[in-house]
Amino acid sequence: MIYEELQRQIEQLRILSRNGLDLSEEIAQLEAKLAALKRQTVAPAPSPSPATELDDWERVKLARHPKRPYTLDYIKSLTEDFYELHGDRLYGDDAAIVTGLARFEGQTVVIVGTQKGRDATENVKRNFGMPHPEGYRKALRVMKLGERFGFPVITLIDTPGAYPGVGAEERNIGGALAQNIYELFHLKVPVIATIIGEGGSGGAIALAVGDRVLMLENAIYSVITPEGCAAILFRDATKAPEAARALRLTAPHLLRLGVIDEVIPEPPGGAHLEPEMTLGTLKEALQRHLCELLALPVELLLRQRREKFQKMGVYEEIPESSLS
Amino acid sequence: MAIFGKKYFKVELDRPERKDDETLWMKCKACGELVFKKRVRENNNICPKCGEYFFLTAPERIELLVDPGSFEDISRPIIAADPLQFTDEDGSAYPEKIKKAQEETGLANEIIIGQARIGGYPVILAVMDFRFIGGSMGSVMGEQICQAIRHAVKERAAFVLISATGGARMQEGILSLMQMAKTASARKMLAEAKLPFISIMTYPTTAGVEASIASLGDITLAEKGALIGFTGRRVIKQTIRQDLPEDFQTDRFAFEHGMVDNLVKREQLRDELIRVLSLFAPLLTQSPAVAIEAHKKEAIV
């Protein structure tokens, strides 16, 4: 509030000074105040507690915990005046992805998130948080809508993956994911992605090409589910705990690998035990990153987004002499 | 494996690379007939008896498509690292797997990128080799595809991607997933430079590659016999517990559902590419401004 008031005052003084009045000193004073205030809000979040002793498989279970806050819980708590939008205008509406406009700290934003159900009925509707192509196309439609008005995009990811079904394949799920990933690189507004629960493979990254990628402490993000990995590489789906450890799919690992930018700490035992705390911490982080990103010129924003992902990957350079 | 006097990017191996076994005959997996291997090779790896397609290695694929003598490997001298220190349950570490694949294929990586001409048109090719850990995409493939795109822009050449891949390289975990974003982010450079991207999907083009760079072509062709889809048949079957349509994820399925522009027989692929490339001809090798101007003038005259 104070922040906005200061900004308003500076703006007013600027308008006044256009009439020949010298207000540069006053403006400078207020700007200094504003900068100080910014520094306060930008103070780094407490580094995640060294709770990394938690086994990776334990974290997988926490990430999938049925009481964990879901996308709609975050939307309700972090934003005001959420207005949900439906349909991809091509085929249908997909309730596994929730999207719309909302106000976040006074700023209109686009929200996109995958949504799981709390009970059997809701899970039928939400398809256990596994979207179809129309879900991703709806998300892209609304993000582009937001782009036309300069609304930043906040995505919340909690999905086992895109739905493995006949209809999804018939409607080109692979193409829909590819298109989202591609278009996200050219969306001329800030994009902040947060992995809040399960970040399941292609279905997750199609919403996670962000200027910042945040991740809750007990969330997971992986190229394949531990069960899938165990079935394919270990030929035994019951070896999922081993696969979970091998895949390095938890937030501390991913931070080290440079795939995510920040870990959002959770209370001991998981986000569901004290949802208020997690929601508050995430809100602070989103606000801080959004503030930084909104200050960047669009060209720089897009270049940095591209460069961020261009750098991802680890390989070995080999000397020319070992080539034949 | 030197062809056309040029060498493919290889690494020095401790052991000599495995030679093709010396038998002269092979049994077709489709019709069961015994066929003469040399005849199969001469026939673009298609069964001379029943027309069944056998898969092509990346070098064979390149040989089939490019103008003789025009190919030059431009791969970056990189090979897979082991960022996750990944070990399969059978105890085989990822680096061992890589080494084995290198020995079996004689290639350094699962993808070859090179500069060539097809019907005289300049192209940058990126060709996957399914023999190399299922042609799966890890950090190396991601970087090589980006390298190919950068070269296409530099040389004002068309970018031709030929996919033969099961998807992401699981042994590189999240970093393999990130290659979907990395390759997609480079793709825009082609659009900005007004250079065509022709994506050719073969057997198989699935999962992480299908859901990223392979689906972002200006023109998308499927080779006859291709398998195209995101989730594997087996996983879908397990999930929905129903039988899948007979033609599920086949070339025909992809065409009927609007996923590809055309289906092309292997023996016609080169001619088809030349036809497509010719329509972009003015844009290749010249700067877009000059090319568009020249094209306009030609149209007016």
Query: Where in the sequence is the domain holding B40, given as residue range(s)?
Result: 22-54
From B13, B34, B54, give the residue that closes a domain. Answer: B54
Of the candidates A315, A103, A299, A67, the one whose C-alpha atom is nearest the C-alpha of residue A197 is A67
Candidates A229, A309, A322; nearest CB to B178: A309
- Residue A268 placed within a domain: yes
Say what the pLDDT of residue A47 is.
Answer: 47
CA pair distance B270, B66, nearest whole angstrom: 8
Cα B269 to Cα B259: distance, rounded to the nearest angstrom: 18
Backbone dihedral region of B249: left (phi > 0), alpha (psi from -120 to 50 degrees) or beta? Answer: left
User: Which of B109, B169, B178 is the best substitution to test chain A (most A C-beta atoms within 10 A)?
Assistant: B178
**Minimal-distance CA residue of chain A relative to B78:** A317
Look at residue B2 and give its three-state secondary structure: strand
Determine, for residues A310 and B182 on separate chains, whether the beta-carbon distance falls below 8 Å.
yes
Q: In CATH, what number is assigned to the domain containing residue A287? A: 3.90.226.10
Q: In this predicted model, what pLDDT tens digit does every residue of B69-99 receive, in sequence order?
A: 999 999 999 999 999 999 877 778 999 999 9
* Helices A2-17 and A24-42, axial angle in degrees (round to 10): 160
Q: Judge whether A35 lies within some domain.
A: no
CB contact under 8 A, B173 and A222: yes
Q: How far is A204 from chain B (nearest CA, A)?
A: 10
Q: Are residues B142 and B34 part of one domain?
A: no
Residues B44 and B193 in one domain: no
Tell me whether residues B211 and A174 touch, CB distance under 8 A: yes
**What is the pLDDT, as a whole number, of residue A233?**
83
**Does one domain contain both B272 and B183?**
yes
Mean pLDDT for chain B overall = 90
Residue A45 maps to a domain: no
- For B53, list phi and psi in degrees, rounded to 5: -90, 130
CA nearest to A173 within chain B: B230
Residues of chain A found within 8 Å of residue B257, distances taken between Cβ atoms: 170-172
Is A88 contained in some domain? yes
Token duo for residue A139 = 């998300």
Rounded Cα gap, residues B94 and B104, in angstroms: 15
B119 and B40: one domain?
no
Instruction: Please report, for residues A58, B34, B35, B55, the alpha-carbon distance to residue B23 in angstroms, rounded to integers and kept in the order given.
Output: 53, 12, 11, 18
**Among residues of chain B, what percentage have pLDDT more than 90?**
73
Q: Which residue of B has its CA nearest to A320?
A: B77
pLDDT reading at B52 higher than 70: yes
- Residues B139 and B178 reside in one and the same domain: yes
Chain A and chain B share a number of CB contacts under 8 A equal to 209
Cα distance between residue B279 and residue B260, in whole Å: 18
Q: Are residues B165 and B275 in the same domain?
A: yes
| Cβ separation A223–B229 shorter than 8 A | no
My answer on whether B61 and B173 are in the same domain is yes
Considering only CB atoms, B211 lies closest to which of A177, A234, A242, namely: A177
Let me know if residue B136 belongs to a domain.
Answer: yes
CA torsion sign for B263, B266, B267, B271 is positive
pLDDT(B164) > 80: yes
C-beta atoms of B89 and A178 within 8 A = no
Instruction: Give the β-pairing of B197-206 and B158-165.
Output: parallel
CATH assignment at residue B243: 3.90.226.10
Q: Which amino acid is at B198?
A: I
Same domain, B36 and B60: no
Tens of pLDDT along chain A (324 residues)? Answer: 566 667 777 777 777 676 666 777 777 777 777 666 655 544 444 444 444 478 999 999 999 999 999 999 999 999 999 999 999 999 999 999 999 999 999 999 999 999 999 999 999 999 999 999 999 999 999 999 999 999 999 999 999 999 999 999 999 999 999 999 999 999 999 999 999 999 999 999 999 999 999 999 999 999 999 999 998 888 888 899 999 999 999 999 999 999 999 999 999 999 999 999 999 999 999 999 999 999 999 999 999 999 999 999 999 998 766 655
Half-sphere exposure of A20 (CA within 13 A, CB side): 0
**Shared domain check, B266 and B214:** yes
Q: In which domain, by residue range, is A278 found?
A: 57-307
Q: Do B180 and A182 touch (CB under 8 A)?
A: no
| H or E element, residue B270 | helix B269-279
pLDDT recorded at residue B294? 61
By residue count, chain B amounts to 301
Structure tokens given for A273: 């035990």
Nearest residue to A174 via CA among A203, A204, A143, A140: A203
Between CA B243 and CA B236 the distance in angstroms is: 9
Residue B8 placed within a domain: no
Mapped onto helix, strand or coil, the DSSP state of residue A30 is: helix
Asked if A168 and B230 count as a contact pair (C-beta separation under 8 A), the reply is yes
Give A94 to chain B, closest Cα distance, Å: 18
User: Would you say residue A128 lies in a domain?
Assistant: yes
The whole-angstrom separation of Cα B268 and Cα B65 is: 10
* Range among A38-42, B158-162, B285-289 rated most confident: B158-162
- Is B17 inside a domain boundary? no
| Count of domains forming chain A | 1
Q: How deeply is B179 buried, as exposed, middle or buried, from its count of CB atoms within 10 A (0-12, 13-18, 19+)? A: buried
CB spacing of A248 vs B258 below 8 angstroms:
no
Distance between CA atoms of B70 and B72, rounded to whole angstroms? 7
Distance CA B56, CA B128 (A): 10
The mean pLDDT of B191-212, rounded to a whole number, is: 97
> Chain B residues with CB inside 8 Å of A172's CB?
215, 257-259
Using a CB-CB cut-off of 8 Å, the residues of chain B touching A162 are: 230-231
With contacts defined as CB-CB under 8 Å, which chain B residues touch A164? 230-231, 235-236, 239-240
The answer to the question of residue A113 being in a domain is yes
- pLDDT at residue B2 in the model: 36
Q: Is residue B11 part of a domain?
A: no
Q: Is residue A67 part of a domain?
A: yes
Q: Give residue A264's pLDDT.
A: 97
| B236 contacts on A by Cβ (under 8 Å) | 164-166, 169
Q: What chain B residue is nearest to A187 in terms of C-alpha separation?
A: B185
Report ipTM for this prediction. 0.90
Best of A90, A159, A312, A321 to mutate (most B CBs within 10 Å, chain B): A312
* Within-domain flag for A34: no
Model pLDDT, residue A46: 46
pLDDT of residue B221: 98
Same domain, B122 and B190: yes
In a domain, B221, yes or no: yes
Number of domains within chain B? 2
Q: Distance between CA B186 and CA B145 in Å, rounded?
A: 8
What string of DSSP letters covers A134-198? HHHHHHHHHHHHHHHHT--EEEEEEES-S--SHHHHHTTHHHHHHHHHHHHTT-SS-EEEEEEEE
Task: State the angle between helix axes of A71-78 and A275-294 in degrees (0 to 180), rounded to the nearest 10.
Answer: 70
> To the nearest whole angstrom, how far is the Cα of B196 from the nearest Cα of chain A?
16
Which position has the token pair 């007939």? B33
Q: What is the pLDDT of residues B211-270, one digit of tens each?
A: 999 999 999 999 999 999 999 988 898 888 888 999 999 999 999 999 999 999 999 999
Are B174 and B292 in a shared domain? yes
In a domain, B13, yes or no: no
Q: How far apart are CA A196 and CA A74, in angstroms?
A: 9
Q: Which of B89, B211, B259 sits opposite A242 (nearest CB)?
A: B89
Confidence of residue B6 (pLDDT cuts 50, 70, 90): very low
Q: Which amino acid type is present at position B61?
A: R
Tell me, what's the pLDDT at A210?
A: 98
CA distance A184 to B281: 30
